[in-house]
Structure 1
Amino acid sequence: MIKCCIGFWFIIKCCYCLNCEEFFLTKPRIPALLKISSDKNTVNHLKKDIKQLNLKLSQLQALLEEKEALICRLRSSAGNAPSTLGTSVGQAISITSSSGMDEENFILSVSDKEIDVPATPGLGERELNPERAVGEPAKNVSRPRNESSSISDIDNESGKSDVSHMNCDNSYKDDGCQMQGEEEFPEVKVDFQETFLGHTSAISRCRFSASGNNIASASVDGTVRIWTYDSSTSASRNATIYCGAEIMSLDWECKSDRLLLIGTADGGIKAWNVDAKRVVCDLNTSEAFPSVLDLKCSPVEPIFVSAAASRRHGSNYIESLGFASLTVWNMKTWRAMSALPLGEDPPAITSLSFNHNGKILAAAATDGMIHIFDMAAGLQITGWPAHDTAISSILFGPDETSIFSLGSDGKIFEWSLQNQGHILWSRNDARFCDPGTSKHCRHEMALDANGRKLLVTSGSVRAPIYQVRGYTNGLKTLPHSAAITTVDWHPTLPIFLTGSADNSVRVTSIL
């Protein structure tokens, strides 16, 4: 009996000692855990403060723009007082009809009460870390509705283009009232917006990957960053690539998010493997054509086409471009396959676009010409003069029965491919496409997944979004703090990218 009691007492004592030891080992960890928890709370409070400050900044900026627009209208009204006082809306309609102004431009320019410009929506921005972009996943993002469309064709019985009479929007004049259209565009209704602040110089190009999960953005200092805006997507592919020269073109491999092509101002073409996080191929164009203005991957075959240009002395970006070179490259051997014929001393090619099966390539030139190539034959099959000035950007329409072109003068045309030289739709973007506000004057455009919204770069802090072939008014993006230099749309969702001269890239989801 005594032995049993002693044994029981010994067991209790050992258990007590073990608990004491565990207690004394755990006790020093408690202050550290409390400190970590406190630091996390502090960080969360700071993030909330940053969101609130960004929100207030956006609201103040929008309010400032509205006040400036009001001042502009008052000055315009004061300058045109003798001609505008006493003019009724009916008289304005009569005058507009006689001058050829279309319905949409009448609404934008005559009646300030027709459009209700909403204030900046209550929305927070996140400053994404350059190496690990943190953002909310795109939850419940609705696809854009199909607006009712109507083709407003221009009568052209001969089927040939007349560049001097191609502009459908002949109502834009140099008076203050009609050139202030930016302020009269309603602001987009935003679901969410993320801001990436990883660059240290102006953004030159930004592109969604084939799936839309990854983004590549480039700046004029020769830096390319790969990142994601969606926290539900793995950030393991995030990377920074230093190219040593200004980035002039970017394009993702069309079948996957694995390869990114980078074209530079010193004739370099790099292929970056996002899985291996390294350059898998470093190509060079000929010394005679050092500026790689555009790169396009075939949507079907493992090839890509580079548009390079020679250099010459000029007062602006377009004038500094010389002759063109179009080269087809094999992405398996990383060797040049052939050169597409352009004739003797051809003007520089600024923009390329493949159709859905890669059989047709459209190319835009600085002399205002559009060239169409048969990739199987390696020959040009047609072409036509589209603009009086250089073409900055070219795109196939969603049904591939048309081609969009953006001139350096701001004129936008949608061309019929079934009736060559026939214009299906047009807009005058001159008030946004101001060459004097852009260092390189390399304006571009992007179509949404449905082909009904056309987003265009801007010399202003906001970019316009035009409704293609629709009678509804255009929209405008939320403001950056400097000119918007590059744009792109998500391949399937109503989400777009805007890169700015303020060194930032924004991902915006619209309702």
Structure 2
Amino acid sequence: MGSAVERTDEHVREYLIYRGFTSTLKHLDNDIKTDKEKGFRVDKIIEQLQQFVVSFDLCGLKEYWLYLDRRLLCRLEDVYRSTVLKLRTSLYRYYVIHTIQKGNLEKTQEFFQKQASELQSQVEWRDWFILPFIPAPEQNPAFSPYFSRQWADTFLVSLHNFLSVLFQCMPQPVLLSFDAEVQKTTSLTEENERLCQLLFALQMESRDQREVDEMVHHRLPIYVQNMDRLGDTDLDLVLSQRPVGTATTPSRNFFSTFLPQGRRTPGKLPLFAGGSSPIQASVGRKDPPGGQPAKSKEPFQANEGKPVSSQASSSEPKSSLSTNQPTNQSTNQSTNQPTNQPSHPRHKKIQEHEKERKELFSKPTSQIPERRAETGEVEPLAETSGEPPELCSYGAAEGGGLSTEQPFIKLSQEEYGEHHSSIMHCRVDCSGRRVASLDVDGVIKVWSFNPIMQTKATIMSKSPLLSLEWATKPDRLLLLGSGVGTVRLYDTDAKKNLYEMNIDETHPRILSLACSPSGSSFVCSAAAVSRSGSVDSAAQLPIPVSGQLLLWDTKTVKQQLQFSLEPEPVAINCTAFNHNGNLLVTGAADGVIRLFDMQRYESAMSWRAHDGEVYSVEFSYDENTVFSIGEDGKFIQWNIHRCGVKQSEQVLPQDATGPFMLSGYSGYKQVQVPRGRLFAFDSEGQHVLTCSSSGGLIYRLTNGEPALESMLPLGGHKAPVVTVDWCSAVDCGTCLTASMDGKIKLSTLLAQSC
């Protein structure tokens, strides 16, 4: 509700400016500055109450609580009145305990003197009047629970939850519901576009199926088309003129056109949904194990000028087009004909032709021969559910066999080529509508890919840029970290800089940025200029670069705090929040992973993870583990409940971990240290996308050894991929792979379950 109020205030302010109501706008700004409800932001209300407690302002604390009571709490039903009284009692106790913990006994006595008339009649305060006279109240059994950190945290969380539910249940004005209507309209528009694409795909599939049916009808063999009116002599003539290797052009299912070229099996006959196909003819021979070539089996063979009957064909060896129907069934069909038909020999032959035709069209799909383009051999396909094999298998492996099932179909792959130098960062925003990409020349492109690929904004920077990150609220804002100690906040809709924050002159390199999902704050990693330490031997590592980890607020544009980095200040290369912003994981240049508690703003645990620098870290889908990639080329999964315990480890090739290298003519060589995200997960956290020399590579996470199972190479690049991202905001997941030649490939995947 707080974010909706802020956006509504902005719309109202914009409307007043448009109408020229400047005096009204001034009054609105003044009222917003003195707003005690803090725009219905619960975190700001709790922060205001804590500020009164910290400053020992008892009068301010009482007045603020009375205002909340008159404005909000008194309107509740009587059943909630006891809860409100308990919260007020806990708030006063929280104040008293704080005065004793800080050793300010004067404020403690002042509280009981001013509140004596109000509290002496309440049973829950009867024993608290002796509190100022107890030498060590924190050791007294009656008061010791209130001095624990657990009680204070429980009270603050309870108050936060109570106010949050209260604000959500309040009746909202029509103007405030505008934001919800906009979000609803946006979601409906996206759903409509998705359904339109699905409808278009189904229409295309239906049209292709009709074309296939028409093609099959027009391309029936002559002896099948004219079977009803051919006599013995005509049939023998057609069979003698028809070449043995005749085969029709194979057709593909609609979805198979979206598959990669390398995954299509050439020369396969189409599988029809009805389980039968008119083009079920033999197109080659397969030699038996003995080495003697087998005789070619045709549906109809010329034998002394007569077609082969069903009884004769059933007694011969089983061929690729042998029928599954019993012989007596066809016999019964022929004997159950009406007896009043003329017994002319020509009519008998027509009946036999009709019987052979029915047997031909009744062949099951599982016995359609598969022609190998390389050898011309024929071997039966495995029985399937009527779908083309490209949709349920990974495709033909290099050794000729079929590999494991593929979880995704690559529907399409597009290229964004507006950059002219190597990419450093490439990130999708939270809504999945915009992409921001940064190259080594400091050029930033903001572009969209749905429904068409289009550049929205181009940002040119005079100072070198090292990092970027999308803001969480609102998602149109972009954070840009430079190499001169500044962070800019850029509005991608208005296409202008909102403001620039000076971080630290002694640590000018902004290596990493991460926005909290639950607020307006962001974490900034600042490092000193790179320097190499004194190396006494080849085995000794360079001295890590000094750095700082800072927390900033985009609303106030001020630094909130500086995190403690132990054992020494070191450059943080990568940062990542969990889903609610309560945890922060970082990877540093000294090879140590640090996990921070964002409720207490302190380090919860740290451990040495890699030999060398940590390049990229991410939380797992269930947030019980952390994944990391380091300079040692290892992809490791760590248990965050047991410090430094590995759950799995996998050695990756150098083209997946860096440093990345691009060679050119005349001995030219370009080397790039990893800056952006080296791996990304899908929406369910079961598959991971990594870098490679020719494109992205998708692995499946396993619980055993090896930890990663190769599933699908995306390909498409001619230079090493240096950063990846995986957007799962829509049903069709979108993989972004950016390379050193400035090309960004956007691969659209469709998840499937075979």
Pick the aligned partner of 1:250 from 447, 459, 468. Answer: 468
Give, in angstroms, the shift of residue 446 of structure 1.
1.3
Is 2:551 aligned against 1:333? Answer: no
Alignment-derived partner of residue 423 in structure 2:
203
**Contact 1:188/1:478 (<8 A) preserved:** no
Q: 1:447: which partner in 2?
A: 681
Are 2:712 and 1:475 aligned? yes
- 1:492 equivalent to 2:492? Answer no
> Cα offset for 1:474?
3.5
Indicate if the aligned counterparts of 1:370 and 1:385 stay in contact, CA closer than 8 A. Answer: yes
After TM superposition, list the pairs within 5 Å mapping 1:282-293 onto structure 2: 282-293=500-511
The one-character-per-residue Cα deviations of 1:286-309 (angstroms, maximum 9, x if unpaired) are 121111111000000110000111
Check whether the contact 1:187–1:477 (CA below 8 A) recurs between aligned residues. no
Give, in whole Å, the separation in 2 of the partners of 1:436 and 1:495. 24
- How far 1:321 moved relative to its partner? 6.2
Cα contact 2:544–2:590 (8 A) shared by 1: no
What does the per-residue CA deviation read over 1:428-467, in whole Å, with 9 as the maximum and x for residues that have no partner? 1134334262422446221121111211233x12232221
Partners of 1:257 and 1:446 in 2: how far apart? 20
1:141 alignment partner in structure 2: none
* Counterpart-to-counterpart distance in 1, 2:425 and 2:405: 25
* Distance in 2 of aligned mates of 1:185 and 1:311: 48
Cα drift, residue 393 of structure 1:
0.4
Q: Quick check: 1:368–1:388 contact (8 Å CA) kept in 2?
A: yes
Q: CA deviation at 1:346?
A: 2.1
1:291–1:311 contact (8 Å) kept in structure 2: yes
Higher share of residues assigned strand? 1
Query: In the alignment, what sits opposite 1:322?
Result: 545
Mark the CA change 1:304 to 1:368 in structure 2 (over 3 Å): closer, same or farther: same
Mapped to 1, the partners of 2:526 and 2:748 lie a distance apart of: 34
**Is 1:392 equivalent to 2:615 in the alignment?**
yes
Question: In 2, are the aligned partners of 1:210 and 1:255 still within 8 Å (CA)?
Answer: no
Structure 2: distance between partners of 1:296 and 1:431: 26
Distance in 1 (alpha carbons) for counterparts of 2:660 and 2:634? 16
Deviation at 1:423, TM superposition (A): 2.0
Mark the CA change 1:204 to 1:451 in structure 2 (over 3 Å): closer, same or farther: same
1:190 aligns with 2:410: yes
2:672 aligned counterpart, secondary structure: coil
Q: Distance in 1 between matches of 2:525 and 2:594?
A: 13
User: CA–CA distance in 2 between the matches of 1:386 and 1:221?
Assistant: 32
| Equivalent runs, 1:375-414 vs 2, <5 Å | 375-414=598-637
Determine if contact 1:408/1:441 at 8 Å carries over to the other structure: no
Instruction: Letter of the 2:715 partner, please give it.
Output: L
Paired AA for residue 217 in structure 1: S
Is 1:508–2:754 an aligned residue pair? no
Given the two structures, how large is their TM-score scaled by the length of structure 2?
A: 0.41
Matched, 1:366 2:589: yes
Distance 1:440 1:261 in 2: 21
> Considering only CA atoms, is the larger Rg found in Structure 1 or Structure 2?
2
Which position in structure 1 is the counterpart of 2:664? none
- Could you tell me which of 501, 523, 539 is aligned with 1:305? 523
Query: Amino acid of the residue matched to residue 302 of structure 1?
Result: S
Residues 186 and 431 (structure 1 numbering): CA distance in 2 closer, same or farther, change over 3 Å? Answer: farther
Question: Is 2:485 the partner of 1:274?
Answer: no
Shift of 1:257: 2.4
2:50 counterpart residue number: none
Distance (whole Å) between structure 1 residues aligned to residue 675 and residue 526 of structure 2 = 15
Aligned residues: 331
Q: Distance in 2 between matches of 1:217 and 1:436?
A: 18
- Structure 1 residue corresponding to 2:659, chosen from 406, 429, 435: 435
- In 2, Cα distance between the equivalents of 1:202 and 1:299? 30
Give the AA of the match of 2:513: L
The answer to which structure has the higher helix fraction is: 2
Question: Is 2:456 the counterpart of 1:238?
Answer: yes
Structure 1 CA distance, aligned partners of 2:588 and 2:549? 11
Distance between the aligned counterparts of 2:431 and 2:630, measured in 1?
29
What is the alpha-carbon distance in structure 2 between the residues aligned to residue 408 and residue 185 of structure 1?
32
Among the aligned pairs, what percent are the same residue? 32
SS of the residue aligned with 2:546? strand
Deviation at 1:244, TM superposition (A): 2.1
* Preserved CA contact (<8 Å) 2:596 2:602: yes
State the alpha-carbon separation in 2 of the partners of residues 450 and 209 from structure 1: 18
What amino acid is the match of 1:238? Answer: K
1:74-133, Cα deviation, whole Å (9 max, x unpaired): xxxxxxxxxxxxxxxxxxxxxxxxxxxxxxxxxxxxxxxxxxxxxxxxxxxxxxxxxxxx
Structure-1 separation of matches of 2:434 and 2:648: 32
Q: Deviations over 1:141-197 (max 9, x none)?
A: xxxx9xxxxxxxxxxxxxxxxxxxxxxxxxxxxxxxxxxxxxx99997421122111
> 1:466 is matched with which residue?
699
**What's the CA shift string for 1:180-216, capped at 9, x where partnerless?**
xxxx999974211221111121111000011001000
Matching of residue 421 in structure 1 with residue 421 in structure 2: no
Runs of 4+ in 1 over 6 A off after TM superposition: 184-188
Q: Determine which of 690, 696, 700 is the counterpart of 1:456.
A: 690
User: Following TM superposition, by how much is the alpha carbon of 1:221 offset from its aligned partner in structure 2, in angstroms?
Assistant: 0.5
CA distance in 1: counterparts of 2:493 and 2:742, whole angstroms: 26
Find the aligned partners of 1:392 and 1:431 in 2 and give their Cα distance.
Answer: 13
Q: 2:414·2:746 contact (CA, 8 Å) conserved in 1? A: yes
Distance 1:319 1:503, change over 3 A: farther
Work out whether residues 472 and 520 of structure 2, in 8 Å CA contact, stay in contact via their aligned partners in 1: no
SS in 2 for 1:312: coil
Q: 1:472 Cα shift?
A: 4.5
Residues 298-354 of structure 1: per-residue CA shift (max 9 Å, x gap):
000110000111123349xx9696112111001101111111111464221100011
Q: TM-score, normalised by structure 1?
A: 0.60
**Alpha-carbon spacing, 1:188–1:480, altered in 2? closer, same or farther (3 Å):** farther
Cα displacement (A) at 1:376: 2.3
Deviations 1:219-257 (A, max 9, x none): 110111101011269x6x810111223332111112442
Paired with 2:642 and 2:568, the residues of 1 have a C-alpha distance of 29
8 Å CA contact 1:196–1:505 kept in 2: the answer is yes
2:717 counterpart SS class: coil
Gaps of 5+ in 1: 1-54, 63-144, 146-183
Q: Residue 259 of structure 1 aligns with which residue?
A: 477
Distance 1:504 1:394 in 2: 24
Letter in 2 for 1:254: T
Determine if contact 1:210/1:491 at 8 Å carries over to the other structure: no
Shift, 1:377, TM fit: 1.7
Give the 3-state SS of the residue equivalent to 1:399 in structure 2: coil
Instruction: Determine if contact 2:442/2:461 at 8 Å carries over to the other structure.
Output: yes
In structure 2, distance between residues paired with 1:365 and 1:232: 39
Give the drift of 1:416: 1.3
Summarize the Cα distance change of 1:244–1:424 in structure 2 as closer, same or farther, 3 Å threshold.
Answer: same
State whether residues 187 and 476 of structure 1, in contact with CA within 8 Å, keep that contact through their aligned partners in structure 2. Answer: no
